[in-house]
Amino acid sequence: MRFSKHKLLNKNILSHIGLWVSVILFLSFIYGVGAPGTFTSFFIILMFIPVHVTYFYTAAYWLIPKYIDENSHLKLAASLLTLAIVCTLAFRTIEIFWADPYFNRVMLEQNPEFQWKKLRGTIKEQYLNPIFLVTAFEQTNFIIWICLAIRFFRMWHFKKQSALQAELNFLKAQVHPHFLFNTLNNLYALSLENSPKSPTAILGLSNILRYMLYECNTDKVYLKRDLEILENYINLEKLRYEDQLDLTVSINGWIKEQTIAPLLMLPLVENAFKHGASEMIKDAWINIQVEINGNNLKLKVSNGFPVELLEHTEDEREKIGLINVHRRLRLLYPNAYTFNTYADDDIFVAILELDLSKNQEKIASSSIEDSRIEPKQDTPMQALNTP
């Protein structure tokens, strides 16, 4: 933790140094056009940098945060105006006593008859010259407000990203209790029957929970691993339904090192068992199809449900699971997915199409072997095989 803080501090220091180096080079180039040389412009700009630095950090890190937190906009405006006037006078002072005399000496070396107009008159007259004051005000504020605009943009972007991350964490956290609630119901049903399969179900649940707690803390997981957990969940459900459920699983395509946001597919499959198979007295069926083509993933989950539930489809079916999936997709894969649900007669269908190349991140772990899932049509799901 200490190392990461030092690393972040060093990164911030370097970014600020880079900012001011860029400012110096930019101003040297701009004002070097009218100066006798780039070095002369560079040296004069260095004289004014303390004013710019003081102006920027006083405004950006003290006045603006202080009065925004207090919601005192009038005080903020007054304080910024006062700071601008003080920095303008400081800028003008540097001009009168150091910058202008230096510039005049350099020009005299090239033209002995040169007389820098800004040095005409007494010190008081130079200070009170309205044209020079306005020019100093412009030169003082121009670069500072560009820097402040950059900082405000970065602050806005950071807050936006923080808000999105907080919402994603909230949505991801919802998956865990929702899944646990449904699975505990299954275990309860097995325990009522004193089923010998209860220990196997508990072991399967612990494997899935271990994945949720320790492997889903990242933004991305390997697609192969997420499909394995999906398989574990289906096998867990099969313990409960046995021959009472007509379950068909088909997974086709090549799996290499594609990654996916964790637990996007599980709620769709879970929804089919919870609101489909568990509601059917007989003739319960679920069809799960996964197609992988490069970075394109298509998941289609269809299941039967009682006709009398059709009129409650919008109110009862699209609960936490499906709404959660839709909101996470909107945040994680904008413009890179389609997600639709259909309810007709006694069939409910959920179709997710996803471009896995969007929002892709490298996962730091041991290398994963390329694997291919051979087409398996109309057969119960088997373990993922690696040739």
**pLDDT at residue 304 greater than cutoff 90:** no
pTM over 0.95: no
Point out which residues pair with 342 in neighbouring strands. Answer: 349
The CATH number of 163-373, from 1.10.357.10, 3.40.640.10, 3.30.565.10, 3.40.50.720, is 3.30.565.10
Q: What digits encode the pLDDT tens for the residues 350-384?
A: 999 999 987 654 443 333 444 444 434 333 333 33
pLDDT band (50, 70, 90) for residue 310: low
CB-CB neighbours of 226 under 10 Å: 23
* Predicted local confidence at residue 346, as pLDDT: 80
Q: For the sheet with 337-344, list strands across it.
A: 337-344, 347-355, 296-304, 284-293, 245-255, 371-373
Q: Give pLDDT tens digits for 312-336.
A: 544 444 456 688 888 889 888 989 9
The answer to whether the CB of 222 falls within 8 A of the CB of 258 is yes
The amino acid present at 65, given as its one-letter code, is P
Please check the confidence at residue 386 and state whether its pLDDT lies above 70.
no
Average confidence (pLDDT) over 215-225: 88
Calculate mean pLDDT across residues 51-74.
Answer: 91
What pLDDT is attached to residue 57?
95
For residue 229, what are the CA distances in angstroms to 132, 221, 263? Answer: 72, 11, 9
- How large is the C-alpha radius of gyration of the chain? 33
Rounded Cα distance between 248 and 265, Å, is: 16
What's the mean per-residue pLDDT of the chain? 80
Q: How confident is the model at residue 259 (pLDDT cuts 50, 70, 90)?
A: very high
| Cα–Cα distance, 341 to 310 (Å, whole number) | 13
- Per-residue pLDDT, averaged over 68-90, amounts to 92
Q: What is the pLDDT of residues 281-295, one digit of tens each?
A: 677 899 999 999 999
Q: Among residues of the chain, what percentage have pLDDT more than 70?
A: 76
SS (H, E, C) the chain: CHHHHHHHHHHHHHHHHHHHHHHHHHHHHHHHCCCCCHHHHHHHHHHHHHHHHHHHHHHHHHHHHHHHHCCCHHHHHHHHHHHHHHHHHHHHHHHHHHHHHHHHHHHHHHCCCCCCHHHCCCHHHHHHCHHHHHHHHHHHHHHHHHHHHHHHHHHHHHHHHHHHHHHHHHHHHHHHHHHHHHHHHHHHHHHHCCCCCHHHHHHHHHHHHHHHHHCCCCCCEEHHHHHHHHHHHHHHHHHHHHHHEEEEEEEEEEECCCEECCCCCHHHHHHHHHHCHHHCCCCEEEEEEEEEECCEEEEEEEEECCHHHHHHHHHHHCCHHHHHHHHHHHHHCCCCEEEEEEEECCEEEEEEEEECCCCCCCCCCCCCCCEEECCCCCECCCCCCCC
When mean pLDDT is compared across 10-19, 46-55, 191-200, 297-306, the lowest value belongs to: 191-200
Q: Between these two residues, 205 and 381, which has the higher pLDDT value?
A: 205
Check: CB of residue 260 under 8 Å from CB of residue 362. no
27/21 Cα distance (integer angstroms): 10
Write the CB contacts of 238 (distance below 8 Å, at least 6 apart in sequence).
245, 247, 380
